[in-house]
Structure 1
């Protein structure tokens, strides 16, 4: 199976990267942080106009008519830019929730922590509920109590009751979230390498030191393995492949952000640096659609099922 990108796919990825660099660069990112994570409706509509949410809708239905492999390329770039908002849920809602495809509606989901979800006895957590017009897979918009979030760009609400995890969308949601994580992992490699080239110690860039070289090399391998797994799962759409991709991408995003902090040293822990934003977003995404524990259980079940016929023989 050939996983190399076509020329059209490469152009799509480059176009999305250029669009986000111009529309959601570092100044816009920092403005979002200062605004407390409030969603920019203007940006959301612009995403809708470019086909971000309608990417996989058929052209006859007003969509772009592309597939899941192209969607993961687009979401990878969104993860690289730390684009905020319930991107996955709104994308999945295109075609079912009025306005979602066009970006005039914001759709969130009960996607945190899988079926049970975190939140304790008081209910479960929902991201971006305050900005949402609908919740994926539910007939009405619930009310919730704001709670503190680890990520300043992902406001959370606690909603009473068990909620619905929109199980029909779970594999696609997990894969697109994995693409966001892979993009973040790749971006932190870039940040670490750039800083290692610029920061000097003992008269030379710190990137010349063996320990820093090894750290950056490990980050790159981790990110590329995760990206390859995401691309493969987008082609096969196999639940086990998706679970494996989510596991690898979550690990790459979290560990790469931590290693990037290590390369930056004390500077990385300051509010002015962007590294901590990647780490905090990676923590939240790791709890969305399919957690590590759920992915491991699914993969273990697949392996056990494959071993049983052999054992019976």
Structure 2
């Protein structure tokens, strides 16, 4: 069986990228970094107008009528662009919370003991009474800690997969940044990409990204919880290790505030803490193997 994107899926992916390039390019990204905690409502409504949140809603319910594979493609592009906001929670709330599908209502949700974008959200799903703000490592993801951890909760496989798609987008972007820098930055009269150590880093970036891509796309087709768990683990690794390797390719300048690489690494760290990652996915896979 061949898993190839259809023309419509390619067009969807390109359309989301074009929208984000136009509405959330580097200038807008840096403006968001300089105004932590502020959510661009105009951009949120533009996402709603484009059908980002209503992508999986039936057309009879004023949705786009597409499926999980298409949602994964859209969230991959959002991850690549470092788009801020409780995207997953609002997407999952479309059709259940009035205004979520159109982008008029920003929805967040408690995830374990953490909740993202609590103060900017119109609706918070879960127990948030007594939540206290945390100093987030990611300037684009404000966090609050809730008094109790909702341990033992049933994980939402769709939320897990959409987070994996965002992580895949980060892996794709840091690979692009590393290769671009390796081709253009010169040391000792030649591009740094001519050095074997840098070539190995870029090759590792490619392998991890493409492995994660295959797993995420396949899980979007099967929707099997074990496939989703495997995809999440691979995508988390591709994003976190990819961003760290991208920093190495950039050398000292990669650690500066002016470079965007550290923003991708910090977002990857925060996403990796969401439900469905790490130990939770490992335990799900182990249980499936034992069964």
**TM-score normalised over the length of structure 2:** 0.97
Which residue of the partner structure matches residue 41 of structure 1?
41
Post-superposition offset of 1:68: 0.2
Contact persistence 1:106–1:133 (CA under 8 A): yes
Contact persistence 1:109–1:165 (CA under 8 A): no
Unaligned runs of 5+ in 1: 112-116, 118-123, 306-313
Which residue of the partner structure matches residue 28 of structure 1?
28
Matched, 1:160 2:144: no
Unaligned runs of 5+ in 2: none
Post-superposition offset of 1:161: 3.2
Post-superposition offset of 1:74: 0.3
Which range moved further: 208-217 or 66-75? 208-217
Distance 2:152 2:279 in 1: 16
Tell me which stretches of 4 or more aligned residues in structure 1 moved more than 3 Å: 140-143, 161-167
Say which SS state the counterpart of residue 156 (structure 2) adopts: helix
Post-superposition offset of 1:162: 3.7
Distance 2:254 2:107 in 1: 33
1:246 to 229, 232, 251: 232
Which residue of the partner structure matches residue 64 of structure 2?
64
Post-superposition offset of 1:201: 0.5
Matched, 1:205 2:194: no
User: For each residue in 1:9-56, what CA deviation from the matched residue of structure 2 results, as whole angstroms up to 9, or x when unmatched?
Assistant: 001101111110011000000000000132111111110110000000
Alignment coverage as a number of residue pairs: 291
Q: Where does 1:174-189 land on structure 2 (aligned, <5 Å)?
A: 174-189=160-175
Post-superposition offset of 1:135: 2.3
Which range moved further: 101-110 or 154-163? 154-163
Distance 2:30 2:179 in 1: 22
Which residue of the partner structure matches residue 114 of structure 2?
125
Post-superposition offset of 1:126: 1.0
Matched, 1:150 2:137: yes
Post-superposition offset of 1:75: 0.3
Matched, 1:262 2:269: no
Matched, 1:13 2:7: no
Distance 1:166 1:128 in 2: 21
Given the superposition, is the C-alpha separation of residues 165 and 71 from structure 1 closer, same or farther in structure 2, using an over 3 Å criterion? farther
User: For each residue in 1:175-205, what CA deviation from the matched residue of structure 2 results, as whole angstroms up to 9, or x when unmatched?
Assistant: 0000000010010000000011111001000
Contact persistence 2:110–2:128 (CA under 8 A): no
Distance 1:74 1:143 in 2: 34
Which residue of the partner structure matches residue 195 of structure 1?
181
CA RMSD after TM alignment: 1.4
Matched, 1:109 2:104: no
Say which SS state the counterpart of residue 135 (structure 1) adopts: strand
Say which SS state the counterpart of residue 109 (structure 1) adopts: strand
Given the superposition, is the C-alpha separation of residues 64 and 164 from structure 1 closer, same or farther in structure 2, using an over 3 Å criterion? farther
Distance 1:147 1:285 in 2: 15
